[in-house]
C-alpha cells in the first residue's frame, strides 16, 4: 500500500498513531497484517453502506405515507445469485490472503535465531540459546528473524506481542512456534492473552527491541556463563543419560549424535522425524514409540525434569547435530556482522562433534 | 408517524371471554400445565430472571474496567464475575431465549396445531432448565466459579479451587432441556402441520427453528460429553486431558467448540427467524426470495458443524487443517449475507411503518452486518492471529449475540406481545427503548474493536493505562444500554394492566397465529385451519378482511 504515496502513507500512520487506532508497526509482518486489516475494514464499510443505504433509502421512499400499497415481489434469482457470488468471491480472496500471512507467521525461515519461552502461572520465562534467562521481558535484536518455541508448564497461556501482530498459544505438553523479525528498536507490550487464572492480567511484560550492537552487549552482560546446550549437557550427565546414550557401540540406547531432524523408523514400521517434540516426548514417555532395533527399557522422566530442564536437554541433543550447530553459528555471525564493531568472542553451543561429521539420516545405527 | 396498527374501537373493545391465561388459575395450574403457551411464559419469566443476573454481572465488569487498576473488584472476584456472566447469559438466557419462549408459544400456532408433539416433555424441559438454573444459583451463592464460560482445561480441572463441578453440572442439566426442546420442535414441525401447510408454505420463522432444532439435537450431547469428562477428570483424575498421563488438553477444546460453535447458531438462527416475520409484516410484503432465506437457514445449520476449529487457529493445530476450517468459515458466512440482503430487499416497494419491533429489526440488520463482517476478519487466518483472544473477539461476539440476537429477541417480544397478552405495549416508550438500546450498544462495543486491534487481551481485571479512554467510552455506553433494557422490563408488565386492548390482528400480519383471538384459547384453534395460500400472502389477508367486513355489515 505504501507504494501509492509514501508521504501520504507516513502521514496516515502518524495520524493514526496519535489517536491510537492501531498499535505501532514494529515487525516485518506488521505492515502486511495492517494492509490486510485495512482492506477488510474497507470492505466492511462498503458492505455496511450498501446494506444501510438500502434500509435507509427504502425506508424513506417506501414509507407508508408515500407508498400506501406494497407491491408484492417474489424474488429475483439474478439478484440473489449476485449477492451470493460476490460476497463469496470477496471472502475467498480474504481466505487466500489470510492463509498466506498465516503460513508466513507460523513457518520460521531456517536461519532464525532460537528463543525458548516457558509459560507458567503467572510469568513468562525466556531462555536464550546463549544461556541468558529472563522473566517477563524479552530482549531481541532488530533485523534478525527470531523463532520462539513455546511450551507451558501448567495451563494454556498465549504469547502475544501486538506491535508485531503475532500471537501463539503456549500449550502444556506440546511445543508451538511463532516467528517474527522486529524492525524498530523500542519497548513493546507482551501479553498473556489466554485466561490462565487469578494472575492472568499480571502476566504481562515488555519486549525490548535493540540494535544488534546493543543486543550483543546486553547478551554478553547477562549470560550466566554457560549456554543453554551446556546446561543441557550438564543435566544430561546429572540425570545419568549417558549411561545408555554413550554414543558407542556397546551403548544400550541409540546414539544421539546427528539425531536431530533425522527420520527414525519405529518398531511398528512407521517413521518419525526427530524434531523438538519428538526428543521431548522420548524423555517423558519413552515407551510410546520405540525406534526399530531397541527394546523399551528406558524409564520415564515424567515429573522429574522441569520444562526449562527439558528445553536444555532438547537444545543439547540438537547441538549434537552438526547441521543445526552450523546454522546456529551462521546466524550468530550474521548478527555479529550486522554491526560495525569487531566480532566478539562467540558464546556458542558446545562443540561435541567435528563439523565435517556427515549428518545421519534414516535408521540410527544401534 | 404512520402506522399499520388496527386496534379495535377502544371504548368497546374487550379481551376474549375465555383464553389460555384465564382457563385455570392458581400456581398448580401453571406448574403442571402442558400448554405450550403457558410453558413459554414460564420460560419467559425464568430467562428474564437470569438475564437480570447476567446483566448485573455485566455492569460490574464494565465498572471494574472503568479504571486500569483492579480496584472495584479483586482479581479473583472479577474472574468469577466474567465467568458467571458468560455462563448465565449463554446457557440460561441466549440459548433458550427465542426458541423456548417465542418459539414455544408460536410454533404450534403458526403451523395450525393444538400443541407441540410432546406436551409433557415440553414441561419436563422447563423443569430441567429450572433445575440446572437452581444448581447454577447454588453454585454462585456458594462462592461462584472462575473458569470462564469455556471451562478450558487443564485450568478448570487441576488449577482452580472453585465450584467447577457444580457449574458443569448445572450446564449439563440445562443442556438436556435444550435437547428435549429441539426434539419436540423437530417432531412437531414434521408431524403436526395442518392440512395444506406444505414445507414451502411454512413461515420462515418455522424454517429457522427447524434448523435450530437440528443443531440442538446433534450438538448439545457433545457438550454433555465434554462436561462429564471435565467432572471425571477433576474428581477421578482420569487423565484424558492431562499430557502427563498421555492425554491431550487440546482434545477438550475440539470437543467443546464442536458444540459451542453450532451453539452460536442455535442462538442466532431463531433471531433470524424472528427477523423474517417482523420485516415482512412492517413492510407489508412477502419476504424477498423466500426459498433462499429458508435454505440459507438449513445451510447454516449444516456448515455450523464444520467450522469449530476456527476457535483454535493459534493453538498448534495442523496448519493444513486450519486452511480447511478457514475456508469453511468463509462459506458459512455466505448464507448469513444472503439473509441480510434479502431482508433489506424486502423493504423495496413495501409500505413501511416504524413500530418498535421494526426499529429493533433495523438495529439487528446494522449490528449483525458489523458482527458478521468482523467474523470474516477473524476467519481470515493471518488476521486471526492478531485479533483472537483480544477485545476484538469480545466485540465481535457481542455484536452478533447482543446486537443481533438480543435485538431480534426484543423485536419478537414486542411484535408478539399483543398476541401473548391481548394488550398493546406503549409504542412511543418502546421506540425510545429501541433507539437507546441501539445507541448504547454501539457506544459500548464499538470502542472494543479498536481496543482489540490495539492488542488489549480479554479477561484482564487490570490493564495498561494506554487503553483507558476507550474503556471509559465502553462503560458510558453500557449505562445507556442498561437503561435501554430496563425500560421494557418496566413498561411491559405495566401494559398487562393498562395497555390498550389489541384485538386479533393489530399488525395486519398474515401468519395463522394472527387469525385467531389474542390471547389464544388453550386449544389454539376451535377447528384445525386449512392452509390454502402461501406464507406472507397479503392479498389473501386483504380479501379475507374485506369478506369479514361484508358478512358483519
Domains of chain B (ranges plus CATH)? 27-552 (1.20.210.10)
Residues of chain A found within 8 Å of residue B315, distances taken between Cβ atoms:
156, 169, 171, 176
Query: CA-nearest residue of chain A to B68?
Result: A201
How far apart are the C-alpha atoms of B56 and B376, rounded to whole Å?
31
- Of the two residues A322 and A81, the one the predictor is more confident about is A81
Q: A187-208, pLDDT tens digit by residue?
A: 999 999 999 999 999 999 999 9
Put simply, the chain A residues between 315 and 344 with a CB less than 8 A from any chain B CB are none
| Number of CB pairs, chain A paired with chain B, less than 8 A apart | 291
Q: Is residue A349 part of a domain?
A: no
Range from A109-118, A249-258, B264-273 that averages highest in pLDDT? B264-273
Residues of chain A found within 8 Å of residue B4, distances taken between Cβ atoms:
64
pLDDT of residue B287: 94
Residues of chain B found within 8 Å of residue A153, distances taken between Cβ atoms:
none
pLDDT of residue A245: 87
Q: Is the pLDDT of residue A340 over 50?
A: no
Put simply, the chain A residues between 249 and 288 with a CB less than 8 A from any chain B CB are 284-285, 288
Q: What is the mean pLDDT of residues A308-313?
A: 91
B382 to A97: CB separation less than 8 angstroms, yes or no: yes
Residues B412, B417, B418, CA angle at the centre, nearest 5°? 130
- Of the two residues A13 and B63, the one the predictor is more confident about is B63
pLDDT band at A11 (very low <50, low <70, confident <90, very high): low
Closest C-alpha to A22, from B449, B373, B397: B449
Co-location of A119 and A147 in the same domain: yes
Q: What is the mean pLDDT of residues B143-151?
A: 93
Q: Is the pLDDT of residue B551 over 80?
A: no
Phi-psi region at A197: left, alpha or beta (left = phi > 0; alpha = psi -120 to 50): left
A154 to B362: CB separation less than 8 angstroms, yes or no: no
Q: Is the pLDDT of residue B547 over 90?
A: no
Co-location of A54 and A135 in the same domain: no
How far apart are the C-alpha atoms of B128 and B179, rounded to whole Å?
11
Closest C-alpha to A277, from A247, A228, A318: A318
Q: Is residue A275 part of a domain?
A: yes
What is the average pLDDT score of chain A?
85
What is the average pLDDT score of chain B?
93
Co-location of A310 and A249 in the same domain: yes
pLDDT of residue B2: 52
Co-location of A251 and A215 in the same domain: no
Phi, psi of A185 (to 5 degrees): -60, 145
Of A162, A196, A285, the CB nearest to B454: A162
Residues of chain A found within 8 Å of residue B316, distances taken between Cβ atoms:
168-169, 171, 174, 176
Co-location of A242 and A321 in the same domain: yes
CATH number of the CATH domain containing A168: 2.60.40.420
Co-location of A46 and A136 in the same domain: no
DSSP string, B16-43: -SS-TTTSS-SHHHHHT---HHHHHHHH
Co-location of A265 and A314 in the same domain: yes
B351 to A54: CB separation less than 8 angstroms, yes or no: no
Residues of chain B found within 8 Å of residue A73, distances taken between Cβ atoms:
285-286, 288, 348-349
pLDDT of residue A139: 95
**C-alpha dihedral sign at B269, B271, B277, B282:** negative
Best mutation target, B161, B380, B466, B534, to test chain A (most A CBs within 10 A): B380
Residues of chain A found within 8 Å of residue B317, distances taken between Cβ atoms:
none
Closest C-alpha to B268, from B153, B162, B374, B397: B397
Q: What is the mean pLDDT of residues B231-251?
A: 90
A191 to B455: CB separation less than 8 angstroms, yes or no: yes
Give percent of chain B above pLDDT 70: 99
A201 to B389: CB separation less than 8 angstroms, yes or no: no
CATH number of the CATH domain containing A285: 1.10.760.10
- Of the two residues A334 and B289, the one the predictor is more confident about is B289
Q: What is the mean pLDDT of residues B418-438?
A: 95
Query: CA-nearest residue of chain A to B83?
Result: A195
Q: Is residue A350 part of a domain?
A: no
Query: CA-nearest residue of chain B to A31?
Result: B383
Best mutation target, A97, A169, A300, to test chain B (most B CBs within 10 A): A169
pLDDT of residue A98: 95
B337 to A202: CB separation less than 8 angstroms, yes or no: no
Give percent of chain B above pLDDT 90: 90
Q: Is the pLDDT of residue B398 over 80?
A: yes
How far apart are the C-alpha atoms of A195 and B148, rounded to whole Å?
8
pTM of the model: 0.91
- Of the two residues B176 and A291, the one the predictor is more confident about is B176
Residues of chain B found within 8 Å of residue A52, distances taken between Cβ atoms:
366, 369
Best mutation target, A35, A36, A63, to test chain B (most B CBs within 10 A): A63
Q: Is residue A365 part of a domain?
A: no
Q: Is the pLDDT of residue B6 over 50?
A: yes
Query: CA-nearest residue of chain A to B78?
Result: A198
Q: Is the pLDDT of residue A39 over 80?
A: yes
Of B148, B351, B365, the CB nearest to A64: B351
Best mutation target, A19, A167, A205, to test chain B (most B CBs within 10 A): A167
pLDDT band at A356 (very low <50, low <70, confident <90, very high): very low
pLDDT of residue B531: 92
Give residues with Cβ within 8 angstroms of A249, minimum separation 6: none
Q: A41-64, pLDDT tens digit by residue?
A: 999 999 999 999 999 999 999 999
Q: Is the pLDDT of residue A248 over 80?
A: no
Distance from CA of B75 to the nearest CA of A (A): 6
What cell does B365 get? 440488520
Between strands A123-127 and A263-265, the pairing is unpaired
Q: Is residue A187 part of a domain?
A: yes
A167 to B389: CB separation less than 8 angstroms, yes or no: yes
Distance from CA of B104 to the nearest CA of A (A): 29
Residues of chain B found within 8 Å of residue A98, distances taken between Cβ atoms:
326, 379-384
B459 to A201: CB separation less than 8 angstroms, yes or no: yes
- Domain carrying residue A259: 228-337
A83 to B152: CB separation less than 8 angstroms, yes or no: no
Of A47, A64, A154, the CB nearest to B353: A64
Of B286, B350, B353, the CB nearest to A74: B286
A75 to B289: CB separation less than 8 angstroms, yes or no: yes
Q: B337-393, pLDDT tens digit by residue?
A: 999 999 999 999 999 999 999 999 999 999 999 999 999 999 999 999 999 999 999
B454 to A64: CB separation less than 8 angstroms, yes or no: no
Q: What is the mean pLDDT of residues B319-327?
A: 95
Q: What is the mean pLDDT of residues A95-112?
A: 92
pLDDT of residue B365: 96
Local structure of residue B401 (DSSP, 8 states): I
Q: Is the pLDDT of residue A352 over 50?
A: no
Co-location of A101 and A122 in the same domain: no
pLDDT band at B79 (very low <50, low <70, confident <90, very high): very high
Co-location of A319 and A241 in the same domain: yes
B464 to A154: CB separation less than 8 angstroms, yes or no: no
Co-location of A216 and A312 in the same domain: no
Put simply, the chain A residues between 206 and 245 with a CB less than 8 A from any chain B CB are none
Which has the minimum average pLDDT: A134-148, B5-19, B134-148, B437-451?
Answer: B5-19
CATH number of the CATH domain containing A25: 1.10.287
pLDDT of residue A366: 37
Co-location of A143 and A45 in the same domain: no
Distance from CA of A99 to the nearest CA of B (A): 5
Do residues A185 and A211 touch, judged by C-beta distance below 8 A?
Answer: yes
pLDDT band at A342 (very low <50, low <70, confident <90, very high): very low
Co-location of A100 and A196 in the same domain: no
Best mutation target, B84, B152, B316, B447, to test chain A (most A CBs within 10 A): B316
Residues B351, B352, B358, CA angle at the centre, nearest 5°? 150
pLDDT band at A321 (very low <50, low <70, confident <90, very high): confident
Q: B453-488, pLDDT tens digit by residue?
A: 999 999 999 999 888 888 988 999 999 999 999 999
pLDDT of residue B155: 93
pLDDT of residue A111: 85
Phi, psi of A351 (to 5 degrees): -90, 90
Q: What is the mean pLDDT of residues B509-530?
A: 93
Distance from CA of A357 to the nearest CA of B (A): 33
Residue B107, Cα to own-chain centre: how many angstroms? 16
Q: Is residue A120 part of a domain?
A: yes
Residues of chain A found within 8 Å of residue B290, distances taken between Cβ atoms:
74-75
Which has the minimum average pLDDT: A221-230, B242-251, B452-461?
Answer: A221-230
With an 8 Å Cβ cutoff, is A158 touching chain B?
yes
Q: A266 vs A252, A270, A278, A288, B382, CA distance in Å?
A: 16, 5, 12, 10, 36
Query: CA-nearest residue of chain B to A166?
Result: B386
The total number of structural domains that make up chain A: 3
Phi, psi of B353 (to 5 degrees): -125, 165
pLDDT of residue B245: 84
Query: CA-nearest residue of chain B to A95?
Result: B380
Of A40, A83, A193, the CB nearest to B389: A193
Q: Is residue A176 part of a domain?
A: yes
Do residues A256 and A245 touch, judged by C-beta distance below 8 A?
Answer: yes
What cell does B500 get? 390498550
DSSP string, B447-512: HHHHHHHHTPBTT-SS--GGGHHHHHHHHHHHHHHHHHHHHHHHHHHHHHHHSPB--S-TT---SG
User: B391-398 and B356-379 helices cross at what angle (nearest 10)?
Assistant: 140
Residues of chain A found within 8 Å of residue B2, distances taken between Cβ atoms:
63-65
pLDDT of residue A355: 36
Amino acid at each position: 500500500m505504501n507504494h501509492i504515496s509514501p508521504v501520504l502513507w507516513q502521514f496516515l500512520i502518524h495520524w493514526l498513531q496519535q489517536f491510537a487506532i492501531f498499535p505501532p508497526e514494529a515487525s516485518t509482518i506488521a505492515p502486511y497484517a495492517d494492509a490486510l486489516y485495512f482492506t477488510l475494514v474497507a470492505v466492511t464499510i462498503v458492505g455496511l453502506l450498501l446494506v444501510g443505504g438500502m434500509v435507509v433509502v427504502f425506508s424513506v421512499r417506501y414509507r407508508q405515507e408515500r407508498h400506501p400499497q406494497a407491491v408484492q415481489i417474489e424474488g429475483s434469482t439474478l439478484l440473489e445469485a449476485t449477492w451470493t457470488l460476490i460476497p463469496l468471491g470477496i471472502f475467498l480472496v480474504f481466505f487466500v490472503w489470510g492463509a498466506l500471512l498465516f503460513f508466513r507467521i507460523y513457518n520460521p525461515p531456517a536461519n532464525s535465531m532460537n528463543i525458548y519461552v516457558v509459560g507458567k502461572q503467572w510469568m513468562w520465562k525466556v531462555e536464550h540459546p546463549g544461556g541468558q534467562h529472563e522473566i517477563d521481558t524479552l530482549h531481541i535484536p532488530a533485523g534478525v528473524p527470531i523463532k520462539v518455541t513455546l511450551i507451558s508448564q501448567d495451563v494454556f497461556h498465549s504469547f502475544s506481542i501486538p506491535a508485531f501482530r503475532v500471537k501463539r498459544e503456549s500449550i502444556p505438553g506440546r511445543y508451538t512456534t511463532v516467528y517474527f523479525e522486529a524492525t524498530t528498536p523500542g519497548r513493546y507490550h507482551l501479553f498473556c492473552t489466554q485466561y490462565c487464572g487469578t494472575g492472568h492480567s499480571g502476566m504481562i511484560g515488555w519486549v525490548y527491541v535493540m540494535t544488534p550492537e546493543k543486543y550483543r552487549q546486553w547478551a554478553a552482560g547477562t549470560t550466566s556463563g554457560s549456554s543453554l546446550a551446556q546446561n543441557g549437557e550438564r543435566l544430561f550427565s546429572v540425570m545419568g543419560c549417558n549411561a545408555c546414550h554413550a554414543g558407542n557401540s556397546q551403548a544400550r540406547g541409540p546414539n544421539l549424535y546427528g539425531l536431530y531432524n533425522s527420520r527414525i523408523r519405529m518398531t511398528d514400521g512407521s517413521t518419525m522425524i526427530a524434531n523438538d517434540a519428538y526428543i521431548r516426548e522420548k524423555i517423558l514417555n519413552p515407551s510410546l514409540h520405540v525406534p526399530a532395533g531397541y527394546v523399551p527399557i528406558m524409564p520415564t522422566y515424567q515429573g522429574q525434569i522441569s520444562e526449562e530442564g527439558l528445553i536444555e536437554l532438547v537444545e543439547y541433543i540438537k547441538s549434537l547435530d552438526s547441521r543445526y550447530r552450523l546454522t546456529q553459528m551462521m546466524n550468530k555471525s550474521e548478527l555479529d556482522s550486522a554491526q560495525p564493531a569487531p566480532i566478539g568472542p562467540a558464546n556458542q553451543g558446545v562443540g561435541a562433534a567435528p563439523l565435517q561429521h556427515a549428518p545421519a539420516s534414516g535408521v540410527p545405527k544401534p | 408517524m404512520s402506522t399499520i396498527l388496527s386496534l379495535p374501537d377502544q371504548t368497546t373493545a374487550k379481551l376474549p371471554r375465555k383464553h389460555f391465561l384465564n382457563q385455570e388459575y392458581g400456581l398448580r395450574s401453571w406448574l403442571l400445565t402442558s400448554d405450550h403457551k403457558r410453558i413459554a411464559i414460564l420460560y419467559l419469566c425464568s430467562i428474564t430472571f437470569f438475564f437480570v443476573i447476567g446483566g448485573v454481572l455485566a455492569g460490574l465488569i464494565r465498572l471494574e474496567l472503568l479504571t486500569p487498576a483492579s480496584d472495584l473488584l479483586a482479581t479473583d472476584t472479577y474472574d468469577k464475575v466474567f465467568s458467571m456472566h458468560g455462563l448465565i447469559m449463554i446457557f440460561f438466557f441466549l440459548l433458550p431465549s427465542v426458541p423456548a419462549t417465542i418459539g414455544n408459544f408460536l410454533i404450534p400456532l403458526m403451523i395450525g396445531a393444538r400443541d407441540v408433539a410432546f406436551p409433557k416433555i415440553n414441561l419436563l424441559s422447563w423443569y430441567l432448565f429450572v433445575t440446572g438454573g437452581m444448581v447454577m444459583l447454588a453454585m454462585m451463592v456458594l462462592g461462584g466459579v472462575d473458569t470462564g464460560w469455556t471451562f478450558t482445561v487443564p485450568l478448570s480441572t487441576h488449577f482452580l479451587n472453585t465450584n467447577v463441578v457444580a457449574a458443569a453440572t448445572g450446564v449439563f442439566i440445562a443442556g438436556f432441556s435444550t435437547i428435549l426442546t429441539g426434539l419436540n420442535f423437530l417432531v412437531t414441525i414434521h408431524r403436526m402441520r395442518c392440512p395444506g401447510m406444505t414445507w414451502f408454505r411454512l413461515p420462515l420463522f418455522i424454517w429457522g427453528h427447524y434448523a435450530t432444532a437440528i443443531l440442538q439435537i446433534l450438538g448439545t450431547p457433545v457438550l454433555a460429553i465434554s462436561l462429564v469428562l471435565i467432572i471425571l477428570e477433576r474428581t477421578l483424575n482420569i487423565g484424558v486431558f492431562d499430557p502427563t498421563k498421555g492425554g491431550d488438553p487440546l482434545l477438550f477444546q475440539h470437543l467443546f467448540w464442536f458444540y459451542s460453535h453450532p451453539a452460536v447458531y442455535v442462538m442466532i438462527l431463531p433471531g433470524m427467524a424472528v427477523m423474517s416475520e417482523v420485516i415482512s409484516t412492517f413492510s407489508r410484503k412477502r419476504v424477498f426470495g423466500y426459498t433462499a432465506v429458508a435454505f440459507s437457514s438449513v445451510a447454516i445449520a449444516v456448515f455450523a458443524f464444520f467450522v469449530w476449529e476456527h476457535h483454535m487457529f493459534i493453538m498448534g493445530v495442523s496448519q493444513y487443517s486450519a486452511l480447511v476450517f478457514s475456508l469453511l468459515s468463509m462459506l458459512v458466512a455466505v448464507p448469513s449475507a444472503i439473509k441480510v440482503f434479502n431482508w433489506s430487499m424486502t423493504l423495496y416497494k413495501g409500505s413501511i411503518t416504524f413500530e418498535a419491533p421494526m426499529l429493533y429489526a433495523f438495529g439487528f440488520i446494522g449490528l449483525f452486518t458489523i458482527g458478521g463482517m468482523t467474523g470474516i476478519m477473524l476467519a481470515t487466518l493471518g488476521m486471526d492471529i492478531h485479533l483472537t483472544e483480544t477485545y476484538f473477539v469480545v466485540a465481535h461476539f457481542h455484536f452478533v449475540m447482543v446486537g443481533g440476537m438480543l435485538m431480534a429477541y426484543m423485536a419478537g417480544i414486542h411484535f408478539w406481545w399483543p398476541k401473548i397478552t391481548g394488550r398493546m405495549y406503549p409504542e412511543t416508550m418502546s421506540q425510545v427503548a429501541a433507539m437507546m438500546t441501539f445507541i448504547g450498544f454501539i457506544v459500548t462495543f464499538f470502542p472494543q474493536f479498536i481496543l482489540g486491534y490495539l492488542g488489549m487481551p480479554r479477561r484482564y481485571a487490570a490493564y495498561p493505562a494506554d487503553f483507558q479512554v476507550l474503556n471509559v467510552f465502553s462503560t458510558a455506553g453500557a449505562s445507556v444500554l442498561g437503561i435501554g433494557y430496563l425500560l421494557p422490563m418496566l413498561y411491559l408488565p405495566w401494559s398487562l394492566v393498562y395497555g390498550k386492548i389489541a384485538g386479533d390482528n393489530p399488525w395486519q400480519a398474515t401468519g395463522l397465529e394472527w387469525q385467531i383471538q389474542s390471547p389464544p384459547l388453550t386449544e389454539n384453534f376451535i377447528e384445525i385451519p386449512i392452509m390454502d395460500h402461501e406464507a406472507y400472502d397479503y392479498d389473501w389477508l386483504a380479501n379475507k378482511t374485506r369478506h369479514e367486513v361484508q358478512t358483519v355489515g
